[in-house]
Structure 1
């Protein structure tokens, strides 16, 4: 019997709302043309739930509201920093449109794949969403779905099951480095006083080569090509670039412009920082202003003050900034690529200004000494002793299963330099998604180890001890979970767990160079979940494994018929077209 699609079920039972909210200083690139609605209808639509009385993983609300979006993915020439190149864009823009909802809303995004010359498949991943009731909507081809073929349409439908700041991006090859990224905000309980929410601040390293050429460089036998440097750094899709520094023939103009943020004297402002880049570890700061960290990823934290925020790829941090009471001047906002990443121009600037109008001349303020020191010397997240979740959750002190994972880098049998986990460099099979195979009862994979599936059976909890003998730091991301971060550091783990009764939870954490990362998950979400480095070039060259969680329960998932139809569509497309999968596929 065919299972009705989620779209049909939801449209038959709930109200539908065209969603677009506005922020005081949101760049026009984020805006859509649909009618605005209030982000908080009837007060708090999540009812009596608040930060301290609700385990968000066990008791998400259901508001009965659908937020609908319509995305067309295509190619377009753009010049966000003055240098013109071809982008992959959503609705003609980079960064992509803002997705916004309330905790407990249903988000529905219809994606039209209009990629041509050359044609490519695509898929969108909703970073940090647990997908507990829609595991097939995670948006990872070869894992939870087949790619959306060129000329085809697919509708994602899922619950906004956590709240806070996040982003979405393509998970097909390294497409998101070509421009398929956008911010996502889910409003929920917040017991921190904030007068003005300034919205998302996307920080992205920026390359002047189009993404497929970059993939060709990093999937290589040439170490110099693999270590290709970004050309610039952007805040909300903007920064200046010195056109005299390039020999390329692409059109280029100086003084393309930078982003700006208006501060109101005496008010408290929220900034939602998101590293949506491809490779770079970023440092964020505002000259002359201290920030209060209130959230990492989708997890509210006990507040602490800092002058610099560290964000590796995929990480988000919400901060509060208390504006000066009688200020009238302007200040530099800074996003700088850390010394351990690869770039030609590490510095992105934006203007923070007081008063009615933005000043004509750029600020002349200087950075905090702590910021400069962090850029040069810290390639890790803040010490785990600082980052304490507000809502306490105690992980299993002795996990049901422990998996050791070794990161490595070196040549394969044909001499290509690849990243690997436990000696295996992953390669996706787009035509046979692991979740859909498991749903059919097939948990036996070919002898080819490139699938790199770890079947943890019915174990109630799994601990990963990840060891990194190389110098590069890796932002490790686990889908389908907020992982417990038990320990991270240089050298060898001595067994000590930071805050064992309430460790940090988040969905991305930095594995330091020459060090270790110890994470743990509660097996409460049957599915096939990627565990990978979020540096685009590292996952492209194989730094990936699939966590197969509770396969006996995966068999009982009511997967909608559209998933099989998309695979039939992809099979028909690939029967007549050659797919240029020169990397892992993710």
Structure 2
């Protein structure tokens, strides 16, 4: 911000003048918990407690989270799921007669959290401060992005209230409901067995033991008759997609993944890993009885259904503490909505016409270097010697847009500032997958069974010709014709791709950063089903820089903060020492 010596006038519509700083201090330690009542086990707690606290703030607030890693045996890194780390220009703050509008702001991609992408891991005994301004209202969550830690308990909702919520006059108060699956074994051992083909020759994912609501079972939500509640729901599961149903109560969807929607009333919700729904729940006029609600894991996604599995978890809407606890009636089938049919409240139109950049990703599983792995375009994601964001910061201007400097196994795609980007994801797997993009919400513009491949000139240079699969769009396939796309597509940051199908998304590259795009089944991202989006690297070099505290954390671990993916600062196109083989799975164990 530049100040003139002449008088200046504050503009009257300065919304951010009333914001505040919200500060949390988190000591990560091991504590013991038994949320499903079957087995007490170590979990990652905050300040000696588990479940973790919900982070709450308002639009425009500065959020500061001090992380002190006191785990002793694991590194960590914190991601704020769905928050874009984006600070749009606000040419409304300051006016001077000589200088005019002079305010400019930049993003905070370095606080996005994934180790190896935007930061180094935070080792035991170290601390780091995350600090960013929240510009988006809605329902989010925070979780570790270090291997396997959020299924071990390091996760909780993140709620951003909105003084301009278009539905604010239609509800009385808010409630938060999370759902998750629960494992009895800790993740490092489970990940090692999952990735080892000698122990897991079919590549089957570990099956959880139980379903949880608000990290517990048999929970109660206290309600009053004749009221309307804004219920914020979050699926924090490692592997499981959930049905959510309230007996004799309908739900009106008004938000998904932080994007307000036109209202849509439904009987049940289907919530994939990482997704969030904000709904209005209207209570009955009298408190004559209580009502049950159900969270049910979708077991059709599992390779098997073991006898120990408790896939259902129930709670109660408690109208009266003197009335008996309600039992959940048998649900023969769940009536859920297709999120593609929802309409964003703001009416943002389709990003139409030919996109500036098209990225085609073929998602598949394979055996690679003696491990069960996954990847896009036959490339399994492997963290590089230098976190990718730091490669951007240190690269020569003439090479920063060259994807080669980021290493083959970072699966990096470079897009320019202002590009309309189209991403096609083909799912070659027989199971559905929830994909999440950091730094954006995206338009959901097409989804079909079958596989789409573009003409050869649109393919990524490293994309192989996949034998055994259709080499062009099938009869139901996407043709690139925007006439088949919705005029006002729904937007979200986490979307589900059907088995052996594809989805097409679009967004504008207006948020300089290095952003992860990955499957949000934790097993899959940990074996490489991920890619990186290097967005507007030239602007990123000009606007952001490495946090000195993070540079010190990297240095203490011997992790370079300059150079290409291999740490080479002399010959930026020499990637001979880049990481191409994934390390044996040890989760987040340190060292």
The alpha carbon displacement at 1:223 in A equals: 4.0
The change in CA–CA distance for 1:489 and 1:281 in structure 2 (over 3 A counts) is farther
The change in CA–CA distance for 1:475 and 1:439 in structure 2 (over 3 A counts) is same
The answer to whether 1:563 aligns with 2:550 is yes
Match of 2:387 among 414, 430, 433: 433
The alpha carbon displacement at 1:178 in A equals: 0.6
Match of 2:329 among 366, 376, 384: 366
The alpha carbon displacement at 1:367 in A equals: 4.8
The answer to whether 1:464 aligns with 2:423 is yes
Per-residue Cα deviation, 1:404-425 (whole angstroms, up to 9, x for no partner): 11011121142x2211111011
Per-residue Cα deviation, 1:94-118 (whole angstroms, up to 9, x for no partner): 33111111101110000000011xx
The change in CA–CA distance for 1:147 and 1:89 in structure 2 (over 3 A counts) is same
The change in CA–CA distance for 1:424 and 1:367 in structure 2 (over 3 A counts) is same
Match of 2:260 among 281, 295, 300: 300
The change in CA–CA distance for 1:514 and 1:231 in structure 2 (over 3 A counts) is same
Stretches of structure 1 lacking an aligned partner (at least 5 in a row): 1-46, 50-59, 240-257, 375-380, 574-579
The answer to whether 1:494 aligns with 2:468 is no
For 1:151, the equivalent position in structure 2 comes to 125
The alpha carbon displacement at 1:363 in A equals: 1.4
The answer to whether the Cα contact below 8 Å between 2:430 and 2:500 also exists between their aligned partners in 1 is: yes
The alpha carbon displacement at 1:487 in A equals: 1.5
Counterpart CA distance in 2 for 1:500 and 1:62 is 38
Counterpart CA distance in 2 for 1:394 and 1:446 is 33
Q: Which has the higher mean CA deviation after the structures are superposed, 285-294 or 454-463? A: 454-463
The change in CA–CA distance for 1:518 and 1:358 in structure 2 (over 3 A counts) is farther
The alpha carbon displacement at 1:369 in A equals: 4.4
Counterpart CA distance in 2 for 1:138 and 1:447 is 18
The change in CA–CA distance for 1:524 and 1:474 in structure 2 (over 3 A counts) is same
Structure number with bigger Rg: 2
Per-residue Cα deviation, 1:481-540 (whole angstroms, up to 9, x for no partner): 111111123224334667643211111000111111101120101111001001100000
Map residues 82-161 of structure 1 onto 2, 5 A cutoff. Answer: 82=37, 83-116=39-72, 119-132=73-86, 133-161=107-135
The answer to whether 1:271 aligns with 2:227 is no
The alpha carbon displacement at 1:585 in A equals: 7.0
For 2:301, the equivalent position in structure 1 comes to 341
Could you say what the CA RMSD is over the residues aligned between the two structures, in angstroms? Answer: 2.5
Per-residue Cα deviation, 1:46-78 (whole angstroms, up to 9, x for no partner): x979xxxxxxxxxx9564411000001111111
The change in CA–CA distance for 1:556 and 1:584 in structure 2 (over 3 A counts) is farther
Counterpart CA distance in 1 for 2:495 and 2:203 is 27
For 2:95, the equivalent position in structure 1 comes to none
Say how many residue pairs are matched.
494
The change in CA–CA distance for 1:211 and 1:465 in structure 2 (over 3 A counts) is same
The answer to whether 1:536 aligns with 2:535 is no
Counterpart CA distance in 2 for 1:64 and 1:151 is 33
The answer to whether the Cα contact below 8 Å between 2:416 and 2:509 also exists between their aligned partners in 1 is: no
The change in CA–CA distance for 1:447 and 1:525 in structure 2 (over 3 A counts) is closer
The answer to whether the Cα contact below 8 Å between 1:420 and 1:544 also exists between their aligned partners in 2 is: yes
SS of the residue corresponding to residue 417 of structure 1 reads strand
For 2:584, the equivalent position in structure 1 comes to 582
The change in CA–CA distance for 1:459 and 1:107 in structure 2 (over 3 A counts) is closer
For 1:505, the equivalent position in structure 2 comes to 491
The answer to whether the Cα contact below 8 Å between 2:442 and 2:507 also exists between their aligned partners in 1 is: yes
The alpha carbon displacement at 1:92 in A equals: 2.5
The answer to whether the Cα contact below 8 Å between 1:478 and 1:508 also exists between their aligned partners in 2 is: yes
Stretches of structure 2 lacking an aligned partner (at least 5 in a row): 1-11, 87-106, 452-476, 561-581
TM-score, structure 2 as length reference: 0.79
Map residues 448-487 of structure 1 onto 2, 5 A cutoff. Answer: 449-458=408-417, 460-487=419-446
Counterpart CA distance in 1 for 2:142 and 2:548 is 24
The answer to whether the Cα contact below 8 Å between 1:542 and 1:584 also exists between their aligned partners in 2 is: no
The change in CA–CA distance for 1:184 and 1:358 in structure 2 (over 3 A counts) is farther
Q: Which has the higher mean CA deviation after the structures are superposed, 400-409 or 215-224? A: 215-224
TM-score, structure 1 as length reference: 0.79
The change in CA–CA distance for 1:513 and 1:550 in structure 2 (over 3 A counts) is same
The change in CA–CA distance for 1:214 and 1:410 in structure 2 (over 3 A counts) is same
The alpha carbon displacement at 1:84 in A equals: 0.6
Counterpart CA distance in 2 for 1:420 and 1:78 is 34
